[in-house]
């Protein structure tokens, strides 16, 4: 049973460019959340997708956007990259019914984004 | 607003010693959930334990135990008889009951277990 799969694992981009990160949720999961983890810090919630719509969002600018497809996979897009966007981006999946009772997520291994 | 504080940045122990990780939280919610996650060098966050705010019973699960004290807003985590494979960053996290699982993480504590 595959867990959460993220691609690519590592990425280097230039300031001002745009990037797309991809996530395939664990089999059977329908909700995807994205977290940004800067070096030496805890993950910060970016947003959550359910039924192909953004259900809730953290304190991140509009440069961060996302999408969820009918097969529940998801993308995170970041426009106009800044040096401060360098971080590990974690995707987490769950069942919506499980989140009602805060059963928690299954996390992927993340995409390490470096902006130069 | 929610806040999770892990004051210990790094703890180093010798194998077989016990390790206790401190976590203090702030929330205005009356009902919430607390979690501990482990992040090995590979990067993925591994779920360890979950505790709801209306159940202060402390439990032991294998080599893991936790001490939840609502009166002091603390949720400490202990690894008994540590092993080298326990070396990782450990995160305490908080989630309000109506937040659809949105997690507020602490900054993490690096645990280093040497043989």
Q: pLDDT by residue (tens digit) across A52-64? A: 999 999 999 999 9
Are B101 and A110 inside 8 Å of each other by CB? Answer: no
Q: Distances from the Cα of B33 to the Cαs of A38, B25, B53, B94, B95, in angstroms?
A: 24, 11, 6, 6, 5
User: By percentage, how much of chain A surpasses pLDDT 70?
Assistant: 92
Tell whether the model's pLDDT for residue A44 goes beyond 60.
yes
C-alpha closest to that of B111 among B61, B52, B63: B63
Show the CA angle centred on residue A38, arms to residues A34 and A40, nearest 5°. 130
Tell whether the model's pLDDT for residue B95 goes beyond 60.
yes
Chain B positions in Cβ-Cβ contact with residue A55 (cut-off 8 Å): 100
Residue count of chain B, please give it.
Answer: 115
- Contact partners, residue A51, CB within 8 Å, separation at least 6: A30, A68
Q: What is the dihedral of CA B47, B75, B93, A58, to 10 degrees?
A: 160
Q: How confident is the model at residue B74 (pLDDT cuts 50, 70, 90)?
A: very high
**Alpha-carbon A98 to chain mean position:** 19
Chain B positions in Cβ-Cβ contact with residue A56 (cut-off 8 Å): 99-100, 102
Question: Mutation test of the interface with chain A: which of B6, B37, B45, choosing the one with the most A Cβ atoms within 10 A?
Answer: B45
CA A19/CA A82 separation, integer angstroms = 11
- For the stretch B13-59, pLDDT in tens is 999 999 999 999 999 988 899 999 999 998 889 989 888 888 777 77
**Residue A105: per-residue pLDDT:** 84
- Contact partners, residue B100, CB within 8 Å, separation at least 6: A31, A48, A50, A55, A56, A96, A99, A100
What mean pLDDT is predicted for residues A21-41?
A: 95
Q: How confident is the model at residue B1 (pLDDT cuts 50, 70, 90)?
A: confident
**Residue B96: per-residue pLDDT:** 86
**Residue B42: per-residue pLDDT:** 87
CA B44/CA B96 separation, integer angstroms = 23
Tokens of A18: 């745009």
**Residue A5: per-residue pLDDT:** 96
**Residue A100: per-residue pLDDT:** 61
Q: Indicate the SS3 state at residue B71.
A: helix
**Residue B3: per-residue pLDDT:** 95
């Amino acid at each position: 049973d595959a867990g959460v799969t993220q691609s690519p694992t590592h990425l280097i981009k230039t300031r001002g460019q745009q990037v797309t990160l991809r996530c395939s949720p664990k089999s059977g999961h329908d909700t995807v959340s994205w977290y940004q983890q800067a070096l030496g810090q805890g993950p910060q919630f970016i947003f959550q997708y359910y039924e192909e719509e953004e259900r809730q969002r953290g304190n991140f600018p509009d440069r961060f956007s996302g999408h969820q497809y009918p097969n529940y996979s998801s993308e995170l897009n970041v426009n106009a990259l800044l040096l401060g966007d360098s971080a590990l981006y974690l995707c987490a999946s769950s069942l919506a019914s499980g989140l009602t009772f805060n059963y928690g997520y299954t996390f992927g291994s993340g995409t390490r984004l470096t902006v130069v | 607003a929610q806040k999770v504080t892990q004051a210990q940045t790094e703890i180093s122990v010798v194998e077989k010693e016990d390790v206790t990780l401190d976590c203090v939280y702030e929330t205005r919610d009356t009902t919430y959930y607390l979690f501990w996650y482990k992040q090995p060098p590979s990067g993925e966050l591994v779920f360890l334990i979950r505790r709801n705010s209306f159940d202060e019973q402390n439990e032991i699960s294998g080599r893991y135990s936790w001490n939840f004290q609502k009166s002091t807003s603390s949720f400490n985590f202990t690894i008994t008889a540590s092993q080298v494979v326990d070396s990782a960053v450990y995160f305490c996290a908080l989630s309000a009951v109506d937040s659809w699982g949105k997690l507020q993480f602490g900054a993490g504590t690096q645990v280093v277990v040497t043989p």
